[in-house]
Structure 1
C-alpha cells in the first residue's frame, strides 16, 4: 500500500523577489512523501501568489488523495489520472504527488528519470539566473553574485525597464533574457521596447503582454525580432495548440503542468507544433527543481535557479556548474534530504 504524507514549509528568499506587479520575501511550499515497502519518493508543491494555492488549499486537496486502492506504483497514468480528477485546479498540489510518484518509481527501478526517458546526460542546457526588479545598487550586487552564469533572466514590466538593462549592461555583456510578467499593455510600446532590447543582446522576451490580450500578442510575435515565450498565458497541455503563432514558444513549469508526466507531454506537443521550449520553475527547493531538470536535455532554454534563490533548502539534487545544469546518477528525481 502506498502511504502519503505531507507537511507545510516556508521558503526564505535571499533577496526580495520583485516582479512587475508584486514583491515577496517568502514562498509557501508543501513537502510530500510517498512510501512503499520502505522506499520513499519525495515531492513538492510551491505556491507563489499568482497560482492561487496555499498551505490550506493544498492540505485540503491532499486529504482527498487515497492511494490505498493502488498496489502497483508503476500504474502511473492510472494513479495520476485519478489524482487529476479529484478536483479542478490545484495544479501545484497535483504536481507534488506526481513528483513524489516519479521519485518512488525511479528508486524502485534504481534509475534516474533522464535515463528512463532515454535522454542524453551531456545535453543539459545552461540555466539562467534571475535578477529581480530593484535599485541599480542592488541589481549590480545581484549581477556580481551571478558572475558564474552564462545567461541572466531579468524581470521587467515596471517604469524602470531601460534603467534595469542599462545598469546590467554597465557591468556585464553576458546574454540576457527578459520576463515582463505581463507588464506591457500597449502592443506598439511593447514592440518598440523589444527592438530596443534586441540591440542590447537580449535572447528572448517572456510574457511581454497580459495573457488576455491574445490578438495583440499574436501581432507582437509576428513583428518581433526576438522570440516571445508564453508563461502565465497557458497552464495545461491542451492549452498549447491555440498558442501556435501567438507566441514563439512556451515556458513549462511543473507547478503549472501538474508535474513531470504532463510536462513531458507538453514538450512533445510543442515540438510537434514547431515551437520553442523553455523549462522554468518557481522558487522551490532542490526537490522540485531536480525533478524538472530530468527533462532539461529536451529543451532550448532553462531557468532552473529556484533553489539558488532561497536560504533554507532541505534537499540536495541537481547542481549548477559555471551555469550548466549537472544531473547526478541518483535514482528517481536525483535528490537526497538533508
Structure 2
C-alpha cells in the first residue's frame, strides 16, 4: 500500500473515509516469536449529517491482516440501505457477515460507528453503557524481550506504572525477571505468547514467578495445547489468561475450564460491541477479564477504555509505545487510565495530524 491518501465513499446518508498510516515504535518491540519497529494501521472516518466518528484497524503481522486487506474489506461496505447510525446492531451484523475474519477491518468501522453515536447523543460511551471510569484498573506497561541493559532502561522509564507486563517465552525468561526485580518490586504480569511447550516446566515457572510477585500468566503455551493449558490452570498458583486462544465471543464458553480468564482485544473481536458482550459473558461464567490492545493510536485505545470498568486488568499502553500518535484521548497519570469527558470515544485530532 503506497499511497497515504484518503479514499472516500458516499454511501447513502453516510460517508466512509479511510487511509493507511504507519505507527513508529519508540523501541524495537520483541516477543517470543518476532521483533518489529513499526505497525501498519488504517484510519477510518464515518460521517453522518456532518458529524464524524473516528476508527482504526491495527494489524500486527501475526494477525494475518494488512493495510491492503483492510482497505479491500472497507471498499466492500455499502451502508446505503441503512437510514440511521442508530441501526447499530443491523449495521454491525451486516459488516460482520461481509467476509470471514477481517476482524481489525471490522473493528475500524465498529469504533467509528460508536464514536459517531456518542457524538450524536452528546455523551461518552462509558456513560451510555452506565459504567464508572474511576473503576478502570491501572494499566500495565509492556516490557518487551531485550538485553539486560535495555530491559533495565525500559523499567526505569516506566516508573509511574503500578504494574508491568513482561514478555517471556525464550531462554532469557529468568534473566528478564531478575533484571526487573533489581530495579523495581511492582507487581508483574507475564505474557508468554505461547512460548512454553512443556506443561511441567510451565508449572515450575509459574511457581518461580509467583515468588517474584507475578500476578498472572498470559497464554503460557500454544493455544492448540488445550489439555496441557487446562492442566496448568488447574495446578498453577497464579491465574492463566487466554489471549491467542480467545478471539471472539464464540470462544469464551469453550475456554471456561482451560484458562482462569480471557484477554479481550478490539482488533481480535471486531470492536466495542462484541468486546462488551465477551466481558459480560466471561463475568457470568465467573472468569477473570483482561482488556488488552495492539500497538494502536489513542483512537482504538480510547475506544477500548470505554469498557475497561468491566475488567479485572487493563493493558492499554499501545499508544504509549509509539512516537507518532495523531489523536488525544485516554491518558495515563501515575499508572491510572484517565478518560476524557468528551462524547463518543473521547478523542480529538492532534496538531501533528498528517
TM-score class normalised by the smaller sequence: over 0.9
Is 1:189–2:210 an aligned residue pair? no
Uncovered stretches (5+) of structure 1, i.e. residues with no partner = none
SS in 2 for 1:74: coil
Preserved CA contact (<8 Å) 2:246 2:264: no
- Residue 270 of structure 1 is matched in structure 2 by 282
Give the aligned length.
338
> What is the distance in 1 between the residues matched to 2:83 and 2:325?
32
Among candidates 227, 240, 246, match of residue 234 of structure 1: 246
* Secondary structure of 2:47's aligned partner: strand
324, 328, 331: which one pairs with 2:343? 331
RMSD: 0.5
Runs of 4+ in 1 over 3 A off after TM superposition: none
Q: For residue 138 of structure 2, give the secondary structure of its aligned residue in structure 1.
A: coil
1:150 is aligned to 162
List gaps (5 residues or longer) in structure 2: 1-12
Q: Compute the displacement of 1:38 (Å).
A: 1.0
Which residue in 1 is equivalent to 2:4? none
Q: Does 1:8 align with 2:20?
A: yes
Aligned with 1:111 (options 113, 118, 123): 123
Using the alignment, how far apart are the partners of 1:46 and 1:26 within structure 2?
11
Write the deviation string for residues 203-246 of structure 1: whole angstroms up to 9, x where unpaired: 10000000000000000000000000000012110111010110
Q: Is the 8 A contact 1:182 1:207 kept in 2?
A: yes
| Partner Cα separation in structure 2 for residue 91 and residue 310 of structure 1 | 22
- Partners of 2:288 and 2:304 in 1: how far apart? 17
Give 1:68 deviation, angstroms. 1.4
Calculate the TM-score normalised by the size of structure 2.
0.95
Matches within 5 A, 1:1-338: 1-338=13-350
Check the 8 A contact 2:263/2:290 in 1, yes or no. yes
Provide the secondary structure at the position in 2 that maps to 1:171: coil
- Displacement of 1:312 after TM fit? 0.2
Partner SS for 2:39: strand
Q: Distance in 2 between matches of 1:328 and 1:12?
A: 25
Deviation at 1:121, TM superposition (A): 2.2
Q: Does the Cα contact within 8 Å between 1:218 and 1:246 map onto a contact in 2?
A: yes
Q: 3-state DSSP class of the match of 1:233?
A: coil
d(CA) in 2 for partners of 1:15, 1:324: 22
CA distance in 2: counterparts of 1:71 and 1:310, whole angstroms:
38
Distance of 2:234 and 2:48 partners within structure 1:
51
Structure 2 Cα separation of the partners of residues 66 and 207 of structure 1: 37
CA distance in 2, matches of 1:49, 1:168: 28
Q: Distance in 1 between matches of 2:132 and 2:109?
A: 26
| Contact kept in structure 2, 1:40 and 1:104, CA below 8 Å | yes
Aligned-partner Cα distance in 2 for 1:234–1:50: 15
Are 1:3 and 1:68, in contact at CA under 8 Å, matched by a contact in 2?
no
Q: Per-residue displacement from partner, 1:143-163 (whole Å, max 9, x unpaired)?
A: 111000000000000110000
In the alignment, the residues of structure 2 paired with residue 57 and residue 330 of structure 1 have an alpha-carbon distance, to the nearest angstrom, of: 32
Normalising to structure 1: TM-score of the pair? 1.00
Q: Secondary structure at the match of 2:196?
A: coil
